[in-house]
Structure 1
Amino acid sequence: MWKLFKRVVFILIVVNISSIMWGRFFNPPITFIQLEGLIKYRKLHRDYISFDEMGSLVKRAVIASEDQNYFRHNGFDFKAIRRAMINNQKNDKKRLQGGSTISQQTAKNIFLWNGRSWVRKGVETIFTFMIENFWNKEIILERYLNSIEMGQGVFGVEAASKYYFGKSAKNLNKSEAAWIAAVLPNPKKYDPKNPSPYLKKKHEWIMKQMRDVRLN
């Protein structure tokens, strides 16, 4: 029994390391979260593109919205985590604030599944540490922007740009890029085509924040 356990652990380690190395050079064929969206919505809009093909505006908009310290942390933003904990203690469950970085979200989107269990969060931490050391910031951001859920069955900024605005991500103007980013982190609830007052306010905030975002 002990030998079997060690063999299973060894296989899991090899598979995980192999997937990390594969991910350095290639986007995933499909992820658990994309498969979940395909089953639930019976569609999968996804269009992988390279980092350069994305243009700069959508990158700046997403960083402004999700992780303004992206290029300054090592995968974990402890100040953001602390702010989220304080905020969540004050507010009800409908207004929970997350402290996950783009690196953590990439680890979840590429390798894991949706959910809030401590087990999943622990595995996410391991994968975040690994991609921060085996990949680089540009690769992580590219994988994130290609895999992030952007609507019901819509994944990645290129598919989202075509779905919402009928154009490629590199051709978005500043306002359109901010609308793409505004739906995060709850893209199944918010719609840039029919924005709520909250989404309009968030869009304006992202537009202002984009001025200070640097892509390095």
Structure 2
Amino acid sequence: MSRSKSKLIGIVLLAGLFAFLLYQFGLFVMVIWLKFHNPSTSAFMRNTLTQLQAEQANAQIIHTWVPYDKISTNLKRAVVAAEDSNFINHSGVEWEAIQRAWEYNMRMSESGSERVRGGSTITQQLAKNLFLSSDRSYWRKAQELLLTFMLEAVLSKQRILELYLNIAQWGKNVFGAQAAAEHYFKRHASQLNAAQSARLAAMLPNPAYYDKRGNTRYLQSRTRTLLQRMRMVEVP
């Protein structure tokens, strides 16, 4: 390889590295912005809206922001119990949980079951929902991890949970705790009781499905399980 060609490759690599670092810096600035401002939308909301409008041109997302202290503690406990029971204590990623989820999903797949369990923490889910696509590439997962560490470094656990509860999907076009409380129970998010909160938390792995199918036998069973677990978790 000639010296000029090697030099050109070096320049291209440096330019690529600079672009990558600049992109990460931009994301970090956005994370800092989230410390002081509430997002009106998310990457996942925008992607969902695009899909819905491809089917129905006038489709809309249902979403209303509600402050942390206006969300029922029952819902906070239920979501942490369902999605990330060690939320208070970890630094963003739980590698053992990822391994357990992978083993569980393999067993379910081998038995013909469609049930899946996620190993992502609430912070990881927030990173994905706010900034990334739903594709499962290794690059997307690596970027999710980088964003997770940024979120944990800049935001408090309370702020992370507040953001998550306000952008989580709870139906085909329903996003956030307030929209979910109104959609399913015709009440404010602050008024959700333990059973209602447990049911909403049980829906999180597949909210559009349960929005369409209603209170299935599995959803009822999962709700009962979460009602027992809620008392054992700590929330910010």
TM-score interval, normalised by the smaller of the two chains: over 0.9
Distance of 1:170 and 1:193 partners within structure 2: 26
Matched-pair contact (CA < 8 Å) for 2:172–2:211: no
Tell me how far 1:7 sits from its aligned partner: 5.3
| Identity of matched residues, % | 35
Shift of 1:55: 2.3
> Scaled by the length of structure 2, what TM-score is found?
0.85
Q: CA deviation at 1:9?
A: 3.3
Structure ID, larger Rg: 2
SS across alignment from 2:34: helix
**84-93 or 176-185, larger mean C-alpha shift:** 84-93
Match of 1:133 in 2: 153
Distance 1:77 1:140 in 2: 16
Using structure 1 for the length normalisation, give the TM-score: 0.93
Q: Secondary structure at the match of 1:189?
A: helix
Contact 1:179 / 1:192 at 8 angstroms: preserved in 2? no
Residue 7 of structure 2 is matched in structure 1 by: none
RMSD over aligned Cα, in angstroms?
1.8
Which deviates more, 27-36 or 64-73? Answer: 27-36
Contact 2:41 2:167 in 1 (8 A): no
Q: Report the Cα offset of residue 179 of structure 1.
A: 1.3
Matches of 1:162 and 1:7 in 2, distance apart? Answer: 46
1:115, CA displacement in angstroms?
2.2
Alignment map for 1:192-203 (pairs within 5 Å): 194-203=214-223
Q: Please tell me whether residue 158 in structure 1 is matched to residue 169 in structure 2.
A: no
Gapped regions of structure 2 (runs ≥ 5) = 1-10, 53-58
Report what 2:126 is aligned to.
106
Within-5 A mapping of 1:47-196: 47-92=64-109, 94-191=114-211, 194-196=214-216
Q: 1:192 to 1:54 in 2, by over 3 A?
A: farther
SS at match of 2:114: helix
Q: Distance in 2 between matches of 1:55 and 1:94?
A: 31
Q: Secondary structure at the match of 2:81?
A: helix
Asked if residue 18 in structure 1 is aligned to residue 18 in structure 2, the reply is no
